Amino acid sequence: MKLDLLYALTNRSGELSWHEVLQQTRRHAVLADELGFDRIWLGEHHFDVDGTDASPNPIMLATDLAARTERIRLGMAAVSLTLWHPLRVAEDLALLDHFSGGRLDVAFGRGILPIEVMNLNPAANRWNGSDNSREIFAENLEIVRKIWTEDQFSWKGPRYTFPEPGTKFIHSPGAPMPDGWVDDNSELVAFGMTPKPLQKPTPPQFAVTESLEGFRGAAHTELKPITWYPTGQVLRNLLDVYRAEREAVTGHAPALGEDVGVLRLTYVADTDEEARRITEASVVEFFELVCRVRGIGVWLDADEDPADPRYRAMDPFDLLMERDHLMIGSPQSVSERMCRLSRSHGIQNWLVQMGFPGVAHSDVDRSLELFASGVMPELRKIAPATLATR
């Protein structure tokens, strides 16, 4: 069982300076390391003025955290791959892998908010009915993987050609000529990057997705899915598809839930009542934000109609709790809920987000400690043989 912390740089009240928010982030990363969390995942979000998650460069942030922690792995969830030059992001991630001593995990995504995508790479528009976003993602991913692993890298695709034709290689006379880089005219025909990642052949790679198409794509590109909103039968369908597609690709069927991370809003207090009091306003606000971006349907199960007005009439906290979106309550309540879902869906990797917008940093401290002392031991006890297999 992997138990990870997804960390958002929040400042909903605006009472803290952003320097103070970064200081809190450093402190919580160190605390998560000491408490035994397996990974801390950082997102990539740009132009945040709402105090939701101001993390424009998770690679740079993780480099700072790597120097302050000893054991915990550092996850990117996710690098918005369509918004980066593929060679630059490959180099930056490789350096981070070295700075962290090989503690890097990388999830890739396509960007989710229009303000980010349309102002950093409008060609990656996800909302105009084209396949550009998926095509850019696929090409960039292949480029990153190739230059991480090949000493004589070259590429010709729909958007990039490497090396650029006609590029001369200016070689230092004191260094050996790299094999296979130049032709008879001293023009580049291939090149490589230095350094390559510390982990061989590459750091573990993940994809952030909630769709059947995304899970199929992850299975075929050897990416491990991380998913947030799906619940109940919707989540089970995704897990079944991933397992079936992996079997089709490799000839071997993984266990249900194997290599899939499931994210949930989480908060642990001494009692259920206290946990709800501290988080309810934040949960309701977050619910409304997600409904604006994605629609209420992301919160519902397979047999529930998003057009049915009764779901909009429900108390948002109760709606999310009933559908297992919230791991919020006492240590006993949270451990019972997470253990039940682990067994019913074969979940072997949880990502818990405790610092969601509106929850004070001081409250996150206590929740981290209670999760580590009262929930984590129960989840670690779950035997693989007790997990659902079909």
Q: Which pLDDT does position 372 carry in this prediction?
A: 98
Non-local (6+) Cβ contacts of 183 within 8 A are 189
- Reported for 11-18, long-range contacts at CB under 8 A and 24+ positions apart, including other chains, are 11/51, 11/54, 12/50, 12/51, 12/52, 12/282, 12/357, 12/358, 13/51, 13/358, 14/51, 16/361, 18/54
Q: Which pLDDT does position 13 carry in this prediction?
A: 84
Q: How far apart are CA 211 and CA 9, in angstroms?
A: 26
Q: How far apart are CA 345 and CA 231, in angstroms?
A: 10
Neighbours of 245 (CB within 10 A): 17
Answer yes or no: are the C-beta atoms of 265 and 290 closer than 8 Å: no
The residue ranking higher by pLDDT, 49 or 328, is: 328
Average pLDDT over residues 79-87: 97
Dihedrals φ, ψ of 268, to 5°?
-120, 130
Q: Which pLDDT does position 238 carry in this prediction?
A: 97
Answer yes or no: are the C-beta atoms of 223 and 249 closer than 8 Å: no
Amino acid at 4: D
Nearest to 266 by CA among 21, 1, 80, 7: 7
Average pLDDT over residues 167-193: 93
Average pLDDT over residues 297-318: 96
Question: Model confidence at 204, in pLDDT bands (50, 70, 90)?
Answer: very high
Answer yes or no: are the C-beta atoms of 315 and 222 closer than 8 Å: no
**Mean confidence (pLDDT) of the chain:** 95
Asked if pLDDT for residue 256 goes beyond 70, the answer is yes
Average pLDDT over residues 306-331: 97
Quick one: how many helices (H) and strands (E) in the chain?
13, 11
Q: How many CA atoms are closer than 13 Å to the CA of 89, on its beta-carbon side?
A: 24
What domains are defined for the chain? 1-150+203-208 (3.20.20.30), 152-191 (no CATH), 212-226+239-390 (3.20.20.30)
Pairing of strands 39-42, 155-156: unpaired
Q: Using N-to-C axis directions, what is the helix angle for 361-370 and 18-35, rounded to 10°?
A: 10
Asked if pLDDT for residue 390 goes beyond 70, the answer is no
Cα end-to-end span (Å), the chain: 19
Q: Where would I find the H helices in the chain? A: 18-35, 58-66, 86-99, 114-120, 132-149, 212-220, 232-250, 272-294, 309-313, 316-322, 331-345, 361-370, 376-380
Answer yes or no: are the C-beta atoms of 351 and 262 closer than 8 Å: yes
Question: Model confidence at 272, in pLDDT bands (50, 70, 90)?
Answer: very high
